[in-house]
Amino acid sequence: MKRTSILLLLSAWIGVNALGQSVFDGCPGIGNAKPANVQQLNLLKNRDLAPSLQDIDLAATLTALQQLGDDTSRWDSKHGAVFHGYVIDVKPGGKAETCNCKVSDAAHRDTHIELVADPTDSGPDRRVIVEVSPRWRAKMLAQGIDWSTATLEKTYKGHWVTVTGWLMFDSEHKGEAQNTAPDGEANWRATAWEIHPITSIELDEKGAVAANLKPPQPHQIKGKITSIDPSGLSFEMLANGSIRNVVVDAGPAVSAAKRLKVGDVANVDVTNAPPAEKATKVEVPVTSPTWPVIAVVLLGSLLFIYLLTKLLLSRRPVLELILGLDGRYSNSKFQMTLWFGVLMVTYLAAVVFRAIGSGGLLIGGVDIPQNLLLLSGLSALSFAGAKAITSANVKNQAVNTDTKTTAAPNQQPAPAPPPAGAAALPPRPQPATTKRSFPGDLINDDYGVLSFARFQIMVITLIAVAVYVARVVAFFSNLSLAGRVSLPDVDTTILAAFGLGQGAYLTNKVVSPES
């Protein structure tokens, strides 16, 4: 036993001289490890001579190290290797490792760099570890090159690189590697083999292609913006069920990105794979359904509103919604019901189109424009005025009827004679019966006589609805998927004509004989 320990220590001493480890900031090549096998491992980690061309094992590629199966003896720690790979992550190594004499400040800790051969196949059990040692960090700093963990992360994370260094089997992680502990719950790496230490690392997009490794191809992602950096140069978006961090590259994408708002759906062209995706183009897309599809959705929305109305009214006819106090169909109620129906059908269709176009990312977010609200308000105002006038008419008729009945139940009062020399007045119109007539009641006055004012307001109303529906169809054919959109507005000319028609209608109702 004593002889074995002496041999191991002698091997370590020979290793120190053969591999060129020196004392670094008071820490020898063996670190402060006590077991001889750990001292041997630390000597490998602390090599401070770079491998020569003759030392490089050309078969030890990144993809070769990812090959499944027990690889404990597959490679040789006496050899170096060159990896072409994609950097998935960069982070500090262990805080108190014996190879670094358990010093825990950033300058004296290893840097772990996680490489994969294919960024679309980057699960923990596919990652190969390469490490920068504190010795090589200090060696590079002396040459004016910053290999601090923060700089390495900023420079290489999300990029293709070429890494050169010494192969080493880190037996301390044998139980956490897929090749030596298949499907282990604690696995976070593909293999216990790694490059440690790294002696050279360079950005190498072309090298990846030359090594027949596909770099991430420019592609487009579609998602909903969840947060935006105040600078407008980076944002987070929900895409394919996960949050993606996107940094906006220089160029036209910058101005487009600064117009984004939280809640927008965006199409983003990116050139890198997660987690460091760079946007070269940003746009808020539109959904463009065909006219037949628009017609189907509008009719479907109309049917839904109709069935909902039938459900709420139970077995009562839908036309009862526009009955006036006098038992006839009300012009003002018809207008209010019509505009309410148009508004609801249009709103519902807009919600459906945006939900479909965004893949379910947008529900709602549809505003009602001012003129459309004013138009609905004019109809409601007209209805209120007409209701007040009709109520007064009905009450007056009831009073007159009571007076006539009291005076002579079966006798009409004699009309007063006209003044001397005056022409005879035409007979006074008699109130119409309460027999309903649709759409006749909408254009006839309370006496069953065709009313130009009513006819005028009906023509204006129907034209306004037709024009608005045409604008809605055009709006739906190029519907934005921004977080919030507004329904098309009503033309101000139509709004003015509608207001004049409503005024004429109410004026006519006020000055009618019964009023």
Where do the domains of the chain lie, and which CATH numbers do they carry? 2-210 (2.40.50.140), 219-284 (2.40.50.140), 291-395+435-510 (no CATH)
Model confidence at 131, pLDDT cuts 50, 70, 90, reads very high
Q: Rounded to whole angstroms, how far apart are CA atoms 11 and 18?
A: 10
Rounded CA-CA distance 310/453 in Å is 32
* pLDDT(511) > 60: no
The predicted-structure confidence for 192-222, as pLDDT tens digits, reads as follows 999 999 999 988 765 444 444 455 567 788 8
| Sole residue written with tokens 């069935």 | 307
Task: Please enumerate in sequence order all residues whose Cβ is within 8 A of that of 34, keeping only pairs 6 or more positions apart, or say none.
Answer: none
pLDDT of the residue at 444: 82
What number of CA atoms fall less than 13 Å from residue 371's CA on the CB side?
16
Q: What is the pLDDT of residue 435?
A: 66
Among 109-123, 131-145, 168-182, 435-449, the minimum mean pLDDT is found in 435-449
Confidence label for 80 from pLDDT (cuts 50, 70 and 90): very high
pLDDT at 421: 54
pLDDT bracket for residue 489 (50, 70, 90) = confident
Give pLDDT, residue 62. 94
Closest C-alpha to 128, from 81, 184, 185, 58: 81
Distance between CA atoms of residues 369 and 335, nearest Å: 19
Q: Report whether 269 contacts 279 (CB < 8 A).
A: yes
> Residue-wise over 426-445: b if at least 16 C-beta within 10 A, else e?
eeeeebbeeeeeeeebbbbb
pLDDT band at 279 (very low <50, low <70, confident <90, very high): confident
Nearest in space to 167 (alpha carbons), one of 73, 92, 39, 100: 73
Q: Is 145 left (phi over 0), alpha (psi -120 to 50) or beta?
A: beta
Residue-wise pLDDT tens digits, 402-444: 444 444 444 555 555 555 554 554 554 444 455 667 888 888 8
Instruction: Record the pTM.
Output: 0.51
